[in-house]
Amino acid sequence: MKLKASTQALRTTLASLAVLAAAGSALAQEAAPAVTPAIAGVVNAGTKIELIKDGFKGTEGPIATPDGGLLFTENQNDKIIRIAPDGSTSVYLSGANGSNALAFAPNGDLVTVQTLDPKVGVIQPQGNARSLVGKVEGGLNLGRPNDLVVDRKGFVYFTDSGVNANASPAPDLSKTARPAVYRISPEYLLERIANDITRPNGIQLSPDEKTLYVANTAGEHVLAFDIAANGKVGPKREFARLEGFRQTENGPTSGADGLAVDAEGRLYVASNAGVQVFNNKGEALGTIALPKRPQNLAFAGPDKKQLYVVGSGSVWRVPVLTAGYTGRAK
């Protein structure tokens, strides 16, 4: 009887150890750092991703500052956060109408897409804050302005991802514009570029500003629009195919979000797969792996030779072999 009990106890102990070992292995795999392969001219193999800080409530919209620092939005707390060149963080601005993304105009104005009272507007310098657009054709409200980029002439390109139809209280869809891509001229004239993209998200210009890129979170491709010398925007085309595209219970998603370009014209895309890198022909060069899903990114630091990535409440810094385009803040 004692032998039988001892045998049973031994089996129980061994089973418990097996469970603990499996759990430990799973935790080790979960904690294991993501490994980035070499991407020629971009990153070395095994490049270590530096965590600057985590615990933020929403991280979006990073841009470089002239002093080598970075600004990004903590949108769920309605704050703009500054990262100094030494990596220290501080609150740059509180109460920015739910700003989600940032850009500097050629005159130095800080322009943001704002989500609490949906609009695009200037929030700095103090005393010069103003709305650029809040309603569109037909007097419809913007849904959820998402991202923007300002070109060298002062044109503001931005995306409106549309309202969340499942939000509480339910939005009045009859008074809200459908998802779209827009351009605001320096004279504050609004032009709709496209409204046939399921969920337009990140937006960026090539260094020569002849190509406009748009991330479609619900699509398998980054989209592109050619911009003629006279400013006319051509029809959309598929530019680059994204990894990580999948079907979910909420519909198809690539997770395509923020975009950035480097001085060589390569395009960087935050997506389900990590940071995907493409050349200026849309050919995939590789993917920078991250511990959690990224949402947006920007080159910053001295000479813009560091890639900052934000997402999932965290901020990371990636040492790169290239430099960001210096003709704009992003």
- pLDDT score for 189: 97
pLDDT at residue 149 greater than cutoff 70: yes
The residue ranking higher by pLDDT, 305 or 11, is: 305
**Average pLDDT of the chain?**
91
> pLDDT confidence of 12, banded at 50, 70, 90?
very low
Sheet (strand 306-311) strand order: 50-53, 314-319, 306-311, 296-300
- pLDDT score for 27: 38
The tens digit of pLDDT for each residue in 192-224 reads 999 999 999 999 999 999 999 999 999 999 999
Give the rounded percent of residues in the chain with a pLDDT score beyond 70: 88
> pLDDT confidence of 168, banded at 50, 70, 90?
low
Of the candidates 100, 207, 222, 205, the one whose C-alpha atom is nearest the C-alpha of residue 155 is: 205
- Find the mean pLDDT for residues 270-277: 97
- pLDDT score for 33: 59
DSSP state of 291: S
- pLDDT score for 126: 84
d(CA 68, CA 58): 23
The tens digit of pLDDT for each residue in 290-312 reads 999 999 999 999 899 999 999 99
Fill in the amino acid letter for 11.
R
The tens digit of pLDDT for each residue in 313-328 reads 999 999 999 999 999 9
Tokens of 239: 């530019």
Asked which of 29-38, 69-78, 247-256, 282-291 is least confident by mean pLDDT, the reply is 29-38
pLDDT at residue 233 greater than cutoff 90: yes
The residue ranking higher by pLDDT, 211 or 2, is: 211
- Find the mean pLDDT for residues 243-258: 93
CATH for 36-319 (3.90.1170.50, 3.40.50.300, 2.120.10.30, 2.80.10.50): 2.120.10.30
- pLDDT score for 165: 63
**214-217: long-range contacts, CB 8 A cutoff, minimum separation 24:** 214/159, 214/181, 215/256, 215/257, 215/258, 215/259, 215/269, 215/271, 216/254, 216/256, 217/161, 217/253, 217/254, 217/255, 217/256, 217/257
Chain CA centroid to CA 123, Å: 20
- pLDDT score for 35: 74
3-state DSSP call for residue 261? strand
- Find the mean pLDDT for residues 286-293: 96
- Find the mean pLDDT for residues 148-177: 89
- pLDDT score for 173: 85
Q: Which residue shows structure tokens 């193999």?
A: 45
- pLDDT score for 84: 96
d(CA 284, CA 220): 13
Q: Which residue shows structure tokens 């703009």?
A: 80
